[in-house]
Amino acid sequence: MTSKLSFGNLTLKNPFISGPMVGLSHLILRDIIAEFGSVGLMFTEMLDARILIKEDIVNNPWVEKGRASCPLIYQIFVSNTSIAKEAAIRLADMEVDGIDINMGCAAPKIRNNDSGVMLMTDTSLAVSIVKSIRSVYKGTLTAKIRTGYEDNIDATIDFVKSLIDAGIDAVFYHPRLGKQKFKARAKWDYVSMLKDAVNIQVIGNGDVKTAEEAIEALANYRTDGVMISRASAIKPWIFKEIEHLKKNKGTSFIVDKKKVWLDFADRLPKFFEKREALEKLNKWTELYAKNFAFGHSFQVSVSNAKTYEEAVEVGASFLTRNS
């Protein structure tokens, strides 16, 4: 397919990566992505280190590896060095494939905890957290960042260099400001500039919506890999589609979209109680509906359902009419 990508203790079969998504990167979606195949690396969703050190990790859909045949990195958000250390010890005991520190999330809940992108405003704390984890964890350690709060690539480069000195093996870079969310275009030129300035692997992330765009991003920028987040929730088969396009240029990749949705809906109640399963089905359907011409109607009909069974029934009815 594409050349392998290596960093830390990991060697990926290809450089296309499924990124972490809050409320979405649980076991069920990860398993479905993995079953389509051709994904080089997967992430858990962002895990609160404070909860992780107390969590029951048996049959836990947030931390269980599931069916992934590729490596799985566990992403944490944390603002306290002692808690970071405890979480790293817990993850090391689980023999995880890697740990990622979220330094890019700008959600109010995360900012108010001085975590996520707020760490980019306090290099000293960010470095201390990396060092505290590295003191007890010898496996693959990465950070996921944004540009920060100022549009200054030189400052971003200096920040990453500090993280490298502290012990990270690679960086996942979403080239937007913390306050921009998804409104402005990601500046992929910054990915190239960061890569040219540092001696670790840099994986770009942002605005990759199709398999074609993933291939183009890898070809057109100095990125070692491409992270695909929301598009891998909309199209869990996108990594298989990338492989198909590279091998069979000019031909369409066909997938049974109804079967994918029903499979997801069937699995959720096996790991979550019905109310939480309904919330997760709604959250995913809001994105998955983008695959259909009348997707808004699909999403609304599922979200208006009062029970899980009703949601599955109305969703299946729409898909039967529109697939």
* pLDDT digit string, tens, across residues 271-287: 999 999 999 999 999 99
pLDDT tens-digit map of 104-114: 998 888 988 88
Is the model's pLDDT at 47 over the cut of 60?
A: yes
In the chain, what percentage of residues exceed pLDDT 90?
82
Residue 280 lies in a domain: yes
Looking at the fold, whether 137 and 195 belong to one and the same domain comes out as yes
Asked if pLDDT for residue 247 goes beyond 80, the answer is yes
- Whether residue 272 sits in one domain with residue 242: no
Query: What pLDDT shows up at residue 181?
Result: 62
For residues 235-254, average pLDDT = 90
Distance (Å, rounded) from C-alpha 141 to C-alpha 171? Answer: 9
Query: Per the structure, how many domains does the chain have?
Result: 2
Cα–Cα dist 265/62, whole Å: 17
Which residue do the tokens 């609304």 mark?
300
Q: Which residues contact 257 (CB under 8 A, 6 or more apart)?
A: 291, 292, 319, 323
Q: Give tens-digit pLDDT for 1-14.
A: 457 899 999 999 99
Paired tokens of 154:
């030189």
pLDDT tens-digit readout, 150-170: 999 999 999 999 999 999 999
Domain boundary among 214, 247, 280: 247
Give CA–CA dist 166/101, Å, rounded: 13
Residues 182 and 213 occupy one common structural domain: yes
Q: What is the pLDDT of residue 307?
A: 96
Same domain (yes/no): 199, 124: yes
pLDDT at 201: 98
In the predicted model, is pLDDT for residue 117 greater than 80? yes
* pLDDT mean over 246-260: 88
Q: Which of 219, 247, 275 is the endpoint of a domain? A: 247
- On whether both 148 and 282 belong to a single domain, the answer is no
Contact 214/208 with Cβ under 8 angstroms? yes
Residues 66 and 181 in one domain: yes
Partnered with residue 5 across adjacent β-strands are 12
* β-bridge mates for residue 7, sequence order: 10
Whether residue 272 is contained in a domain is answered as yes
Confidence of residue 260 (pLDDT cuts 50, 70, 90): very high
Residues 163 and 237 in one domain: yes
User: Is residue 236 one of the residues assigned to a domain?
Assistant: yes
Cα separation, 289 vs 204, whole angstroms: 26
Query: Are both 200 and 162 inside the same structural domain?
Result: yes
- In this predicted structure, what is the pLDDT of residue 64? 83
Name the residue range of residue 275's domain. Answer: 257-322
Sorting pLDDT into bands at 50, 70 and 90, what band is 248? confident
Residue at which a domain ends, from 209, 228, 247: 247
Q: Does one domain contain both 243 and 275?
A: no
The residue that leads in pLDDT, 213 or 178, is 213
- Mean pLDDT over each residue of the chain, to the nearest integer: 93
Neighbours of 164 (CB within 10 A): 17
Query: Is residue 252 in some structural domain?
Result: no
What's the CATH code of the domain at 214? 3.20.20.70
* Amino acid at site 242: I
- Which 3-state string (H, E, C) describes the chain? CCCCEEECCEEECCCEEECCCCCCCCHHHHHHHHHHCCCCEEECCCEEHHHHCCCCCCCCCCCCCCCCCCCEEEEEECCCHHHHHHHHHHHHHCCCCEEEEEECCCCHHHHCCCCHHHHHHCHHHHHHHHHHHHCCCCCEEEEEECCECCCCHHHHHHHHHHHHHHCCCEEEECCCEHHHCCCCCCCHHHHHHHHHHCCCEEEEECCCCCHHHHHHHHHHCCCCEEEECHHHHHCCCHHHHHHHHHHCCCCCCCCCHHHHHHHHHHHHHHCCCHHHHHHHHHHHHHHHHHHCCCHHHHHHHHHCCCCHHHHHHHHHHHHHHHC
Q: What is the pLDDT of residue 1?
A: 43
On whether both 98 and 25 belong to a single domain, the answer is: yes
Percent of the chain predicted with pLDDT > 70: 97
Within-domain flag for 85: yes
